[in-house]
């Protein structure tokens, strides 16, 4: 591993604000800023993903609880985001560190051209020594185009920029075998080396986050799954001790550490696997299931038995095996309307049925990401 690392550090609402007051946890923020500036001085490239817009907006507007309606949440986030950036700018400016605000919605990573453009912007900012501060663009994100939580967002950003490390800073020192708030017997988990173990732990993660956070540990495990699959070492650790980031990079066993996949998927396949929200599902017959799972083939209309969803050409879809389980994702060459006419038909018949010469394949193998059975021992992994 080169000595200069790229790191994504995500801090949750629970660490940014005092649990009872909802006020800024200033000492935590100052320690975080100092840590990130130290990392910059050591030559590392740093991206901060910061939650808090909604929580801080609530405080500013004297709201007693998190907003329930989407419009209210979006309005409150617009109030809080400005205040959040102001605090960061004051603290980072005290240490002469330039920062940038990057607000993303899922469509920024779902559309290939915007994904590539986002990558170039991050790369440019990092080359200039700036620390980008990322949040979901809550004020404009609509339900179907939301990341939903910043744990997922930070994992997708880490994958996008090819980071070596993702730190999920939260209000607890590490992951436990059960939620320690409700289960005093819960055992600490120090290291997770296999994707299958993440899958198993999802079953024991408490669903609810703290009063002001969203997602709890489940979204952190999902983030760890996305990031480690992309080759990013992921650490869950205590946000009140941001110095843990420096300790982890130096090799100390702080928090819970998730080892990166030894065979990370390539950038384009990662984009298909994690960046895109599927808008439909295709059901395959036995022959097509084998052809794509074992033969590494493209998917043809002849092997599709049924479809669900109202997708357009170039949308992402899930692919379901004859046995009924989802086995892959891909970018489709036909809309649901056109595909419904050519299901089960041979490629050479397609032009006559549709009245135009479409693609030979329904999903080309370059646009197909398989959850391989050869890696069943490691849980879901994405094949290159
Ligand atoms: N298995 C578990 N191990 C550790 N913490 C858990 C677990 N399950 C649920 N939790 C809860 O998740 C909380 C952190 O999630 P959350 O409040 O969403 O944090 P953040 O705001 O940092 O994203 C912890 O306070 C803890 O009570
Ligand atoms: N974009 C939202 C963050 C939502 C979120 O994921 O919160 P958290 O679970 O505290 O990291 C905000 O700024 O309030």
pLDDT digits (tens, 9 = 90+) for 118-148: 999 999 999 999 999 999 999 888 776 678 7
193 marked among binding-site residues: no
SS3 87: helix
To test the ligand 2 pocket, which listed residue (66, 136, 140, 146) has its Cβ within 8 A of the most ligand atoms? 136
Question: pLDDT value at position 322?
Answer: 80
Cα–Cα distances in Å, from 26 out to 73, 79, 82, 375? 24, 19, 17, 45
Ligand 2 centre to CA of 306 (Å) is: 38
Residues of the chain with pLDDT under 50: 373-384
Question: pLDDT value at position 377?
Answer: 29
Question: pLDDT value at position 287?
Answer: 94
Q: Which residues pair with 308 in a beta bridge?
A: 281
Place of tokens 């000492």: 27
Cα–Cα distances in Å, from 274 out to 123, 130, 194, 248, 329? 20, 26, 19, 26, 10
331: left (phi over 0), alpha (psi -120 to 50) or beta: beta
- Closest ligand 1 atom, residue 171 Cα: 25
Q: Is the ipTM of this complex over 0.90?
A: yes
Question: pLDDT value at position 194?
Answer: 87
In angstroms, the CA 371 to CA 222 distance is 16
Ligand nearest to the CA of 136: 2
Show Cβ contacts of residue 173 under 8 Å, excluding neighbours closer than 6 positions. 188, 237, 238, 241, 255
Would you say 168 and 233 are in contact if contact means Cβ atoms under 8 Å apart?
A: no
Ligand nearest to the CA of 186: 1
171 marked among binding-site residues: yes
Q: Whose CA is nearest to atom 2 of ligand 2?
A: 51
In angstroms, the CA 176 to CA 57 distance is 31
Ligand 2 centre to CA of 217 (Å) is: 13
Question: pLDDT value at position 220?
Answer: 94
205 lines ligand 1 (CB under 6 A): yes
179 marked among binding-site residues: no
């Amino acid at each position: 591993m080169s000595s200069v690392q790229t790191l994504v550090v995500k801090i949750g609402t629970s660490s940014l604000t005092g649990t009872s007051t909802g006020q800024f946890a200033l000492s935590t923020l100052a320690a975080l800023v100092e840590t990130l500036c130290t990392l910059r001085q050591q030559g590392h490239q740093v991206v901060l993903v910061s939650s808090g817009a909604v929580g801080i907006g609530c405080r500013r507007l004297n709201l007693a609880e998190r907003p329930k309606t989407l419009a209210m949440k979006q309005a409150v986030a617009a109030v809080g985001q400005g205040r959040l950036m102001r605090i960061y700018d004051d603290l980072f400016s005290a240490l002469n560190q330039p920062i940038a605000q990057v607000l993303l919605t899922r469509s920024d990573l779902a559309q290939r051209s915007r994904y590539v453009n986002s990558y170039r912007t991050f790369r440019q900012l990092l080359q200039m020594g700036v620390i980008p501060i990322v949040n979901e663009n809550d004020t404009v994100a609509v339900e179907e185009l939301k990341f939903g939580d910043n744990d997922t967002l930070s994992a997708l950003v880490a994958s996008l920029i090819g980071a070596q490390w993702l730190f999920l800073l939260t209000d607890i020192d590490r992951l436990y075998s059960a939620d320690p708030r409700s289960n005093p017997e819960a055992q600490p988990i120090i290291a997770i080396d296999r994707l299958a173990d993440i899958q198993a732990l999802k079953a024991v993660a408490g669903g609810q986050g703290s009063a002001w956070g969203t997602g709890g540990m489940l979204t952190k495990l999902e983030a760890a799954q996305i990031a480690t699959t992309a080759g990013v070492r992921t650490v869950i650790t205590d946000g009140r001790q941001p110095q843990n980031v420096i300790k982890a990079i130096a090799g100390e066993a702080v928090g819970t550490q998730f080892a990166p996949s030894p065979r990370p998927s390539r950038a384009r396949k990662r984009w298909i696997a994690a960046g895109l929200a599927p808008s439909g599902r295709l059901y395959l017959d036995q022959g097509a299931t084998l052809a794509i799972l074992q033969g590494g083939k493209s998917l043809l209309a002849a092997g599709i038995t049924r479809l669900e969803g109202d997708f357009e050409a170039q949308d992402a879809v899930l692919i379901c095996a004859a046995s009924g389980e989802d086995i892959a994702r891909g970018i489709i060459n036909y809309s649901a309307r056109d595909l419904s006419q050519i299901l089960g038909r041979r490629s050479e018949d397609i032009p006559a049925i549709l009245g135009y010469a479409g693609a030979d394949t329904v999903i080309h193998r370059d646009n197909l990401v398989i959850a391989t059975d050869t890696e069943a021992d490691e849980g879901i992994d994405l094949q290159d």
